[in-house]
A and B are shown apart, each in its own frame.
Chain A
Amino acid sequence: MATALTWVDATAHRPLLSTSNYMSSPASVIAVNAPSTDPTDPSQHRVSGMRRGWITALIVGAPLVLAGCNAYPSYGADPGATKQGSDTFKLYSGMMTTGIVIGGFVAVLILWTVVRYRRRSDEMPKQFHENLPIEILYTAVPVIIVGFLFFFTVLTENNVDATQPVNATVTSTGRPVVDITVTAFQWGWRFDYTGLNVGVVGETTNGPNNKGPQMVVPAGETIQITLVSNDTVHGFYLRDFNFSRYAQPGVTNIFDLNVLHTGTYDGQCTQFCGLYHSEMLFSIRSVTPSAFESWASAEVTAGHTLQGSPSGAGNIPPPNTRTTPANAGPSVASSATPKQKASA
């Protein structure tokens, strides 16, 4: 059902909101030629220029060793596989550098004081206290520092939380955002591609080596996730995306993801949700838009449609009809899970 595609490799491109024409129909996928992104795009420049200025400002005089030759040392985090995630990463990295510099300064001050003023004689030290100028200084300087941190936090936060209207067209591709409803339940995930009539669902209590259901998305495009929960609070989290959001009953959360490259990214429920919380895995596979098109049409052909027939995992009922099992015991696990409740 999907039309043929001509697609430029999208790994380097960032979709921008525009009003170019697009076409869309619920059960098919339409793609339009996508020009690659101009690296001199002014909007990108503005952001990174600002970040660079910030880093410079914050670590003035700081030992460059800390940052190495890299403006954004990773400090254990992932550079971010999404546009949003890389924004967050830069904020994290900058804040961590700031924290290490300031924390390091205070730690050195403590240790130096401890060593320098260790008791060497019984002579009584001068009984001084209070020093108003210093007290004002160590009040004002932290205020300024947290002011900076807050400023860059708000900038990043606005980028990360920005969402595009679902029907918005992406200039470079001419297609609307891919709209996916993610339903978390005990203990699995369901991904419904609203515009494409594709539904993927998987339960993860089938043993420890199950990787859970996989969400396939086109690289470089805007994906809009509508996150809901069927029972308890869950956490939709992908380490490489530097992002998490609660899936909660009674709350609908909407956010955009722009996966930058093709690849597979592991995700996992982070908010404790009962017995099999630790096995509530999923993954996101980002493919070229053309591969995405063929995947979507193959899914439709295979009958994995919205709220309809199960996808691979078997007999999992669609969202909102499933009764929640008590988290009490082995019955939920059926035969598949070796873990049994101890007779504690």
Chain B
Amino acid sequence: MTTTIERPEVITPEELGGPEGHHPDALHGDADHGHHEGPSGILNWLTSTDHKVIGKSYMITSLVTFFIAGIMAVVIRAQLLDPHTSLVSYQTYNELFTMHGSLMLYLFAGPFAFGGLANYIVPLQVGAPDMAFPRLNALSYWLYLGGVITMLSGFLVAGGAASFGWVSYAPLSNATNSPGAGADLWLMALALTGFSAIFTGVNLVATILYLRAPGMTMFRVPIFSWNMLVTAILILIAFPVLFAAVVMLFCDRHFGTHIFSVEGGGSPVLWQHLFWFFGHPEVYILALPYFGMVTDILPVFSRKPVFGYKGMVFATMSIAALSTGVWAHHMFTTGVVLLPFFSLLSYLIAVPTGIKFFNWIGTMWRGQLSFQSPMLFSIGFLLIFLVGGVTGVLLASPPVDFMTHDTYFVVAHFHNVLIGTAVFGGFAGFYFWYPKMFGRMLREGLGKLHFWFLFIGFWVTFMPQYLLGLHGMPRRVASYAPDTGWTTLNVISTLGTYVIGFSFLFFLINLMVSWRKPVPSGPNPWDGHGLEWFTSSPPPHHNYTHLPPIRSERPTWDYNHPEHRTVVHKPKGKKFAAPNKGDKETVGAPS
């Protein structure tokens, strides 16, 4: 790469002054802040290399993708409302769940986190003027947008979109079984977004490692940015493997190779290995950013520092390390993998995940909790992800996996995980940082309505699916017989989906209201902790005109509450604990 790194233009921090005094309360956009000269309007958008513009583009695109995939979910559930409903044909149903899963995972949950929120927030959190490679960042977005369009265009070609599930198992995905162009478009889309993810990963690593503001040591980087660093490394491990697998499959389909076909001496199981070697780290690529968001949000609304900062960092790193060694837990029923090994490693992931839970609880412990929308969504995340985590531990056991594999039990499990993280965590992050990005508030009442309908709708939709799976309903079925006894639970699940769908009306209205009748947010509406709350909302072109002294992972808080800095927990019966060694400045008890 020949792109030059722009060094952050850091202005010497002023002495500890009055909180928030000198910040321009802003409703005006980036261009208003002086030294940015460039085209405006659509040309600005097309040519921008500003991480904030790219981040917003990513976010809008991925939210649109989320809504499209969500509408597909509603159609899927409507089809299953009754046995033998024929709302859509079998073929269409198969296309719909394939596209629903693919859009949600490849094009929403990932890009929303690392292309959208992380792109916007990480440079702000570490005090950088932009991403390390701004032009590469723009390329990422355009590749991603190309990927979205490519994947959706499958619906327009003869033969329809890809219909082999989001995992595209060989040999169902070969040229004989999936002859249409839809399958090729699906592969192309993965190649495009794969590269976009890799470039974003490179960018995040470089930004977090090299563009931190003076004073921002690694152990003062906020947890969200830490998690993005680890996520980015996982992206660099996983996505090249996916790309390689996609190329191989493409060669099988078009160039007569037999990498995944038995006839030519290849191995269909090899596809599963390659895919899941990508696929399981991908699960954490999707989860870690949202863990990070929640870890940044809980302290703000508890008015306390995160409980075990280093514990969180090490938990994240061990989750990432373990996640590269558990892929075959998706293949227990193939009969060709070493069960105890993959089972044990999968179980072990529960340990750092448990550490995170106790840290989240410890963060709220003896705090002063207030329940604005970001906090509500974060608590929703905790409860929903908890159930996904527990059922995940069950699935780490090969015999239990045998009995539930490819049934609705698994569908319920991964929605518990994915909706917990990407939807509850993601919307927590969105409600939290929206004021920073747009300089205006979202309405609390509408946010709470959104939360409660979504939260209740979630349980109504997915708890019955656990039971359906245990009662034997396989996933990816377009119909079922009336005598299976699955009808009632399916009806409940579908009604829950309608509630979920309804909840997003409040979200859309909220956006509209905030757009029509803006309520200015000011730089720091939540009494935030991270550096990002120090600058104006939205931030000026290169993010900072001033920086506070950075002495902990929450410089803005320290600046605003000089008398309430972090102290080491005082164990009972002992004298006040010794100051933390290392980077954290520990001051006396606030009494």
Contact = CB atoms under 8 A, between A and B. Distances in A.
Interface in B259-292: 261-262, 267-269
Given A88-B399, A88-B400, A149-B347, A250 B382 contact: no
Nearest to A211: B481
A157 B310 CA distance: 37
Interface in A276-307: 276-279, 281
Given A119-B370, A266-B472, A232 B169 contact: yes
Contacts of B382: 110
Given A88-B403, A146-B351, A277-B477, A77 B470 contact: yes
A114 B269 contact: no
A269 B406 CA distance: 9
B397 A95 contact: yes
B95 interface: yes
A312 to B, nearest CB: 20
Given A99-B394, A124-B368, A156-B399, A110 B569 contact: no
A85 to B, nearest CB: 8
B394 A92 contact: yes
A99 B393 contact: yes
Interface string B550-582: 000000000001001111111100000000100
A251 B369 contact: no
B219 interface: no
A263 to B, nearest CB: 15
Given A113-B361, A250-B267, A124 B354 contact: no
B103 to A, nearest CB: 16
Given A118-B371, A246-B333, A326-B177, A124 B303 contact: yes
Given A114-B364, A153-B398, A278-B478, A125 B304 contact: yes
Interface string B341-380: 0011001101100110110111011111111000000010
A143 B351 CA distance: 6
B567 to A, nearest CB: 6
Interface residues of B, number: 111
Is chain A's interface secondary structure helix, strand, loop, or mixed overall? mixed
Interface stretch (B81-89, B124-132, B199-207, B427-435): B81-89
B477 A327 contact: no
Interface stretch (B5-13, B15-23, B33-41, B159-167): B159-167
B472 A268 contact: yes
Given A92-B394, A117-B365, A157-B339, A235 B333 contact: yes
A196 to B, nearest CB: 25
Interface stretch (A14-22, A44-52, A236-244): A236-244
Given A248-B268, A324-B177, A128 B569 contact: yes
Contact of B262 (A119, A239, A250): A250
B366 A126 contact: yes
B358 A138 contact: yes
Contacts of B371: 118
Interface residues of A, number: 98
Interface string A116-155: 0111111111111111011100110011001001100110
Given A76-B467, A96-B394, A109-B361, A251 B269 contact: yes
Contacts of B172: 232-233, 272-274, 327
Residue picked from A125, A233, A250, A274, most chain B C-beta under 10 Å: A250
B334 interface: yes
Nearest to B382: A110
A253 interface: yes
In the complex, which of the residues A125, A143, A235 has the most CB atoms of chain B within 10 Å of its own CB atom?
A125
Interface stretch (A59-67, A164-172, A216-224, A333-341): A333-341
A100 B236 CA distance: 37
Given A208-B479, A270-B475, A146 B348 contact: yes
Contacts of B307: 129-131
A203 interface: no
Contacts of A279: 479
B405 A235 contact: yes
Contacts of A209: 481
A344 B360 CA distance: 47
Given A129-B569, A154-B340, A278-B90, A121 B406 contact: no
B590 A124 contact: yes
B481 A208 contact: yes
B178 interface: yes
A242 B401 CA distance: 9
A160 interface: yes
A95 B393 contact: yes
Nearest to A275: B90
A245 B169 contact: no
Contacts of B179: 326, 328
A173 B360 CA distance: 59
A103 interface: yes
Given A126-B590, A269-B474, A339-B89, A208 B84 contact: yes
Interface stretch (B44-52, B115-123, B190-198, B384-392): B384-392
B339 to A, nearest CB: 6
Given A127-B567, A146-B393, A270-B474, A110 B334 contact: no
Interface hub of A87, A121, A240, A251 (most chain B Cβ within 10 A): A251
B131 to A, nearest CB: 30
Interface string A172-210: 000000000000000000000000000000000000110
Contacts of A123: 368
Nearest to A111: B383
A271 B406 contact: yes
A328 B366 contact: no
Given A125-B368, A339-B90, A270 B405 contact: yes
Contact of A139 (B333, B355, B360, B405): B355
Interface in A66-98: 75-77, 85, 87-89, 91-92, 95-96
A-B complex: 3 closest residue pairs judged by Cβ atoms? A239-B472, A278-B477, A270-B406
16 contacts: A95-B400, A107-B383, A110-B386, A122-B368, A130-B569, A160-B402, A208-B481, A235-B406, A239-B472, A250-B267, A250-B269, A268-B472, A272-B165, A326-B176, A339-B86, A342-B88
Given A232-B177, A250-B267, 8 more contacts: A117-B302, A117-B367, A118-B370, A124-B561, A131-B308, A138-B358, A251-B336, A327-B178
